[in-house]
Amino acid sequence: MKGNLTDYLRPLGIVFGDIGTSPIYTVSLVGFILKQKDPELMIGGISLVFWLLILIVYVQYVFIVMNLSIRGEGGQLIIREYVLSLVKNNEWLKNIVSILGLFGFCAIVSEGILTPAISILSAVEGITIIDKNLTTTHVVVISIIITIFLFSIQRKGTDKVSFLFTPIIIIWFLSLFTLGIIYIIKEPRILEAINPIYILVLLQKDPLDFLVILSFAMLAITGVEGMYADMGHLGKKPIVFSWNFVFLALIINYFGQGAFYLINHHKITEYNSLLFLMIKEISPTLYIPMVILTLMATIIASQAMISAMFSIFYQTSNLNLLPRVKYIHTSTELKHQIYVPFINWFLMILVILTILFFQKSSNIANAYGLSVNITIIISCIMSIIAFTYKKNIPLVIILSLVILPIDIVVLISNFHKFANGGYFPLITAIIILSLVMIYTRGNRILGKKLGYESYENFINKYEITYNQESKIKGLSVFMLRDINFISPYICRTIFDFKIIFEKNVFLSIKITDNPYGIEYFYKNIEQDKTQSLGIIEISAGYLEILNINDIFKKLNIEPTVIFYGQENISPRSLSSNIYSFLRKISPSIVDFYNFPLPKTIGITTNIDL
């Protein structure tokens, strides 16, 4: 095993917070349904959990989906780019893949709202077992206070405390494992759940509620997409290595909860977390420390999701799928650790509203899972397309005939959640997708509306103007996307306003289809006979955090002023109104890339859209 043990255990504190805190509520919800039927069917319920972890996490993701990456990077946007590169000659399929990938990304974002809410609420609810006087209102208020605290510390960055995440999560998983072992020894009959025949028994004895039970059992796999999304900065091997440890702890705990339920189901009169009931029965003294540990584990799980949201929206900014977002570096050592103020506070408001609306973790569970399941199905479909093009027939057969049907059945099982709040993440995903479509379409129309000057015409006009007009001392920089198409604001500045510096440099930033890599160079424009024109070309991966000022220094360039174009849009329709609003709330390109603001000047162009 290459690399030290610390590197291989690091994913524990980053990737597995969501899936690792599922034991707080998953089996409890299954048990609550079975309590009203036949408690002995819990063996079938645990069998469902076990085989979902095997088939979805291990087979679909670890063995198949995680092999689809770009330079080791994974996630919904990555698999979209990967498959698009394979189907680029099939326009019909390319459009389908593009929409599927975008909807998968939108579903992930909607999951990012529910994950902190259900994790924090479910942990705080453990306090009610100690003090029966604590009401739902108390739980909600405490949860909101923790939520506000969690989002308030994001500005400071997590690198100073992140070294604590892995040890805390290791203690958490060891505690889960130990609790599970204790009750498996007390009721070893639960180990029969390894046999999938008990799933058929559950289906046969309770066909009407089977899908409801399945919809709660699948909460055990929420967070599986994180394994794929975090491949880039953690590596596939460390994630898989850590997952083996996590799987053992989780499955032992799930079996232990099933055993506890078989022994004590007659004592359970209302919904309570079986995990907390297990601890209270074993040792009341350890109960409060375990509740505190649970709170810390859920905060870490929420932290991982918040950081992921920052990264995702930075990616969409670079890919021009959504408006730019202002970001701030929070670490001098980890260049990809950023803080996005707007996303942070907007997400906090949505999480608080979710807590206020649902009030109980069991209520959120009725909404949770639908968006997760959608991303799982999209990953499966994308994989089928990819391996079809790669002519890997065995994997196509496994995915098409085994995994996809299971994913679809699980999705169908979640349909009942729609009326109970499942519409919440789905509508959120649809709204985000609509914004993506409006924004990308608006950019295309805007590009056509702007009158660009050809490179050759510009050079001819520039030489005449430069030789005839007086020059300003210093060096000006003009933001430019493509050297072959000169933006109208540049022509107006130089030809209409007669603002000409001794040295004028175009700055072109190209975001590549690859996640990582930064290349840049400066060159004089040979066609310019005045020898006063130059260009800086920067190519960067869409996950890279660019430091333009640092690049200027390395190229020995000191700008006197930096010009950039901005559009004043006069909207003519509902979609153009929305597009115009998105443009207005978006930071300018110089603000996005942290240019020295005192040196920047925006030149406005009026556009009817």
pLDDT of residue 278: 92
Which long-range contacts link 569-572 to residues 24+ away (Cβ below 8 Å)? 569/446, 569/607, 569/608, 569/609, 570/606, 570/607, 570/608, 570/609, 571/609, 572/608, 572/609
pLDDT of residue 498: 92
Instruction: Place 401 in a pLDDT band, splitting at 50, 70 and 90.
Output: very high
In 3-state terms, what secondary structure has residue 523?
Answer: strand
pLDDT of residue 513: 67
pLDDT of residue 213: 92
Instruction: Place 60 in a pLDDT band, splitting at 50, 70 and 90.
Output: very high
Residue with tokens 């070309």: 537
The lowest-confidence range among 163-172, 278-287, 335-344 is: 335-344
Between 425 and 506, name the one with better pLDDT.
506
Spatial separation of the C-alpha atoms in residues 49 and 41, rounded to whole Å: 13
pLDDT of residue 2: 55
Structure tokens at 359: 């009030």
pLDDT of residue 558: 92
450 pLDDT above the threshold of 90: no
Element (H, E) at 519: strand 518-524
Spatial separation of the C-alpha atoms in residues 297 and 291, rounded to whole Å: 10
pLDDT of residue 110: 84
Percent of the chain scoring above 70 in pLDDT: 95
The pLDDT mean for the chain works out to 87
Alpha helical stretches, state H, 265-367: 274-282, 284-318, 341-358, 361-365
Q: Model confidence over 496-515: pLDDT tens digits?
A: 999 999 999 999 998 876 76
Spatial separation of the C-alpha atoms in residues 45 and 259, rounded to whole Å: 12
Q: Model confidence over 516-560: pLDDT tens digits?
A: 789 999 999 988 899 999 999 999 887 787 888 889 999 999 999
Spatial separation of the C-alpha atoms in residues 164 and 182, rounded to whole Å: 27
DSSP characters over 82-149: HHHHHSTT-HHHHHHHHHHHHHHHHHHHHHHHHHHHHHHHHHHGGGGGT-TT--HHHHHHHHHHHHHH
Buried b (16+ CB within 10 A) or exposed e, 28-48: bbbbbbbbeeebebbbbbbbb
Q: Give the closest residue to 214 by CA, choosing from 378, 54, 50.
A: 50
Instruction: Place 597 in a pLDDT band, splitting at 50, 70 and 90.
Output: confident
What domains appear along the chain, each with residue ranges and CATH number? Answer: 5-441 (1.20.1740.10), 451-608 (no CATH)
CB 442 within 8 A of CB 579: yes
190 pLDDT above the threshold of 90: yes
116 pLDDT above the threshold of 70: yes
pLDDT of residue 331: 56
Q: Give the closest residue to 533 by CA, choosing from 440, 481, 459.
A: 459
pLDDT of residue 48: 96
Of the CA atoms within 13 Å of residue 9, those in its CB half-sphere come to 13
36 pLDDT above the threshold of 80: no
pLDDT of residue 160: 57
Spatial separation of the C-alpha atoms in residues 326 and 247, rounded to whole Å: 38
pLDDT of residue 196: 95
Please name the amino acid found at residue 606.
N
Task: Determine phi and psi for 271, rounding to 5 degrees.
Answer: -65, 125
pTM score of the predicted model: 0.82
pLDDT of residue 185: 96
Spatial separation of the C-alpha atoms in residues 177 and 248, rounded to whole Å: 8
Of the CA atoms within 13 Å of residue 32, those in its CB half-sphere come to 17
Element (H, E) at 513: none
